[in-house]
Each structure stands twice: as structure tokens, then as C-alpha cells.
Structure 1
Amino acid sequence: MAEEWVALDFETANGDNGSVCRVGMVKVAGGAVTDRLLDYVQPPEPVSWFDPELAPFNGGVTAEDVRDAAQWPEMLKRITAFAGGAPVVAHFAPMEMEVVQRACMHSGVPVPEMEIGCSVVLARSVWTDSPDHKLKTLCARIGFDLDHHNPLSDAEGSARIVLELMRERGTPTLGGLCEREDVVLGRIGPDRAPAYCRKRRAPSPRFSRWNEESRAEPPAPDLDNADPDGPLYGATVCLSDTSRDKIELWGEIAAVGGTIAKNVTKKVTVLVVGDHSAVTAKRRKAEEYQAKGQPIAIIDEAELEQILREGA
């Protein structure tokens, strides 16, 4: 079965994002637009007034236009039925997500479960050369004749952008495009905080190193081959905020007979800090033990390097 997803756009009556007054949706199946929905909505009662200054930005929808339209709870049923559980795409998706959430809040109905992608996030990932990633700019780029603030046209523009991104990346599905660009779909639901569509953040080199170190098993001390008169022979050594790779240092310390401790405990006899001016949690713990009479030496990384060179 061909992958299906939908794109949607809302217009609102006033500055409250829950004052939804018109909705447009398109359905995509097998890489083509296959169905459309466009209708007016009566804004929920607490925010049902129309701000005339917003008319240029909502297609000029008026109270008369929505007089006989469905109220939000009924329109929400139509929206979810049209989507059929498929992912929903929108341009600047967090804003459209907020429309759904606030309209539901004003109407006293639960927020539906929706998996939501953002054509802005995907376009930023692929079209890094674009001067901006506004809907008008991107629709002009792909040659789509946008009738801006007509929600059906805006929704279709968002869909056409994603379809072009899929074509350029050679990925026939929305899921494949997200995987290719390392993008995570957002989600809303009745019992969850909204999670927005976003690029996965690559862990920083520092975090990656810390993660590797936290999972690594320290090597056993080489007591058979190390010099028993060496300063680290039989010592229990803990490292704190060193510039060199800890796993590499662990190996060198073990080679001269030292036992590695990941954390400062009563068994630690040597704490190595990056430099003597560094104040770390491990150093504070070691100083607490020193104050209680525990024999813990605190040396810096340069001193450790000298010991290792002499013991090599």
C-alpha cells in the first residue's frame, strides 16, 4: 500500500491561535495529491470575534462566512477522519499544532493524537541555499502558484514542497525523507506535552566522549610487569576533567600498576585534575576526604604526564 500523509493549514479570526475560522487539507498518496478539503469553521465561543486588522492575513474571512459553518468539535472529527491516522505536515507546524490545541481547550474537547511533520524543518535541511524558508519563497522556488492565506492553497503548497524535497533526495516516502535528513516528527495528543518536528541534534564531541567513558570498563593494573617502586604502583587513581582521552590515560595508568576508579571514594589515593585551578565535583569530594584525614593526593594532568613518562 502506498504511503499516505496529509498537509493542513488553518486561518484564525483574531490573535488567539484557537480562533480557527477556516481549514484546508490535502491528502498525498503514492507521491501525488489525491484529495482536498476546504471549509469554514465557527471559532470557539470564547474567541469567536473577528479582528478586522487580521483580514489581510486570514483571507478576509468574516463572521458572516462562518455563520452556518460547523463548530470546532464537529470539524475536528472531519479533520481526523480525512487524515485517517496518517502523519500531518504543515508549514511552521508548531503554529498549526497550537491552533488545534487551543481550539480544543476553548471547546472542551481532548486534543487528538497526531504525528506532525514540518515542511520548514525539512526544507531548511535540504535547501540550505534558500534566502529564507517562508511559504511564498519556497513555493516560488518550485513553481507552485500560491494563493497565500487561502488555507487549501497553503496546505497544498506545503505538500508540494515536501514532494519536491522527496524527489530531489530520491526518497519516495515522507518517512524516508525524514530518515534521510535525520528529522524526527512531532506529536500532539490528549495526555502529552507537544513534541515538535525537529532535526536530531548530534551529540557534542564532549558528550560523546563522556558517554563512551561512562560505559567503558577500566583495565586491570598490570602488577606483573610494572615497576613496584613506581609512584602509581598500587595506587587507586581517579581522573577529573582531563584534556586527554580518559580511556587512553586509564591504559597508561594501569600499565604502571595503578588501579582506576571512575568516582572518588575512600579507596582513591590519587585524584588527577585537568589543572590545579579547576574546581570539580570530584575535587570537592576529594578535599572533603582530605579534611577528614583521608590520604588523597591531588595532582594535575601535567604532573601525571611526567609520572607516566618516567615510568614508561
Structure 2
Amino acid sequence: MNFVSIDFETANEKRHSPCAIGIVVANETGIVDEFYSLINPLMAFSSFNTRVHGIVEADVIDAPTFTELWPKFESYLTDSIVIAHNASFDMSVLRKTLDHYNLTYPNMEYLCTVEISKNVWPDLMNHRLNTVATHHNILFEHHHALEDARVAALILIEAIREHNAEHLDGFLEVRSMKKGRVYERGYVTPKINARKRRKKMNF
């Protein structure tokens, strides 16, 4: 079962300012496709954001805009299972940018690998992307959109493998997790079964 891992970097504090996107298509056995692009956000960059990801306005002058890239993005996302590390951020970037340009939301399901990591490896000191990557001996360039998307995909693959699950849905059933969903002008967040959460808290 294929899933799509995404990561956005933004030009400033506005969620509708994506300046880079990484997309990785993977399944339970590994990565099968990748896509990366800078994005011209048509607005100024914040020095804070630039310190995080290293992208400056000069880098995106000739880059396509979000609306120009959206048909490509949409083909990856529509009717897919999409994952992201701290998905609340990436999903809000997606929704706010689609709202900003008055574009239609894709119908898709999604998962957060932060929540998956907390569920599967609760004893880690934290569940930031670099911490979970280090736990699995994954080396990468943090805050590069494609590398971050790739690591999120590898984290989910590791979680599935640790449970000897044949597919993603089987893994989610074992961990009592439910996918979130995005649909036209709305969304539902991923869930962990309440009884499973209470059981974990008792340990």
C-alpha cells in the first residue's frame, strides 16, 4: 500500500508562504518515488525562517509559484494516504495556501509520524524528527523539505516493520490508530483509540 510523505518549508510566519516542498512516495518495503521543488511564495522572507532552512529570496526568484505547481502536487495527494512529521503544521500550510489561492482541497487521508512515534517509541527523550531519526540511525539534512519527507517515510516504514505488519492498515489496527482526513474546506485529525491511550498512561 503506497503512502505519500510531505514536508513544507515556509518563507515567514504566514502558513500560506511555502517556499519549498518535498514529496516522497513509499510503501511498506521502501521508497518508490520522490519530488522536490522550491516555490516562489510571492512575499518576503523572515530572517528567522531563513536561519532554519537556509532558503533566501534570491533562491526562489525563478522558482514556480504554488498555483503553477499545484496540479503536480494534487496528483500526488488526491485519494492518497499522506503522512508528515508534525502533520498539523504541514496540513495547515496546505489548507491555508489553498485557501489563499482559492484552490480546491484534495480528498485524502493523513497521519502524523510524531504521534506514531509517541505511540510506538514512548520512551524516547522527545519525538522530534532528528531524535527519532537518530534512534533509527538515519542520517539526513534537517529542514531540507525532501530529506525531512524522506525521513518521515522511513520512520513509518520502521514502525510497520517492528510490528511485522504486512500493510499500513494492519499496523494502524494493532496500534489502535485512525487516519485523519482532508476534504473540501474541512478536515478531521488522526485519532488514537481512547482505551489504548488510557492503557498506555497506566504504565
Same-fold call, TM cutoff 0.5: yes
Q: 1: distance between equivalents of 2:116 and 2:91?
A: 17
- Alpha carbons of 1:184 and 1:169: their partners in 2 closer, same or farther (altered >3 Å)? same
| Unmatched runs of 5 consecutive residues or more in structure 1 | 206-312
Tell me which structure has the larger Cα radius of gyration. 1
Q: 2: distance between equivalents of 1:203 and 1:94?
A: 22
Structure 1 residue ranges, 4+ long, deviating more than 3 angstroms after superposition: none
Q: Match for residue 257 of structure 1? A: none
Is 1:197 the counterpart of 2:195 in the alignment? no
Q: One-letter code of the match for 1:114?
A: M
Is 1:138 the counterpart of 2:136 in the alignment? no
Q: 2: distance between equivalents of 1:113 and 1:18?
A: 19
Root-mean-square deviation (Å): 1.9
Given candidates 35, 50, 54, the residue that maps to 1:55 is 50
Q: 1:84 Cα shift?
A: 5.5
Q: One-letter code of the match for 1:70?
A: P
Q: One-letter code of the match for 2:11?
A: A
What is the percent sequence identity of the aligned residues?
27
Q: One-letter code of the match for 1:200?
A: N
Q: 1:85 Cα shift?
A: 2.5
* 1:31-110 equivalent positions in 2, closer than 5 A: 31-43=29-41, 45=42, 48-57=43-52, 59-83=53-77, 85-110=79-104
Q: 1:173 Cα shift?
A: 1.7
Residues 176, 196 of structure 2: 8 Å contact kept: no
Given candidates 105, 117, 120, the residue that maps to 1:111 is 105
Q: 1:172 Cα shift?
A: 2.5
SS of the residue 1:82 aligns to = helix
Q: Match for residue 160 of structure 1? A: 154
Q: 1:203 Cα shift?
A: 9.5
Q: 2: distance between equivalents of 1:91 and 1:23?
A: 13
Residues 183, 200 of structure 1: 8 Å contact kept: yes
Residues 5, 83 of structure 1: 8 Å contact kept: no
TM-score scaled to structure 1, two decimals? 0.60
* 1:157-236 equivalent positions in 2, closer than 5 A: 157-192=151-186, 194-202=187-195
Task: Give per-residue Cα distances to partners, 1:230-259, cap 9 Å, x unaligned.
Answer: xxxxxxxxxxxxxxxxxxxxxxxxxxxxxx
Aligned length, in residue pairs: 198
- Alpha carbons of 1:175 and 1:204: their partners in 2 closer, same or farther (altered >3 Å)? closer
SS of the residue 2:33 aligns to = strand
Q: Which has the higher contact order (CA 8 A, sep 6+)?
A: 2
Q: Match for residue 201 of structure 2? A: none
* 1:225-264 equivalent positions in 2, closer than 5 A: none
Q: Match for residue 125 of structure 1? A: 119
Q: One-letter code of the match for 2:35?
A: L
Task: Give per-residue Cα distances to partners, 1:178-201, cap 9 Å, x unaligned.
Answer: 111111111112142x21112122
| Unmatched runs of 5 consecutive residues or more in structure 2 | 199-203
Q: 2: distance between equivalents of 1:101 and 1:121?
A: 20
Q: 1:159 Cα shift?
A: 0.6
Given candidates 13, 16, 24, the residue that maps to 1:15 is 13
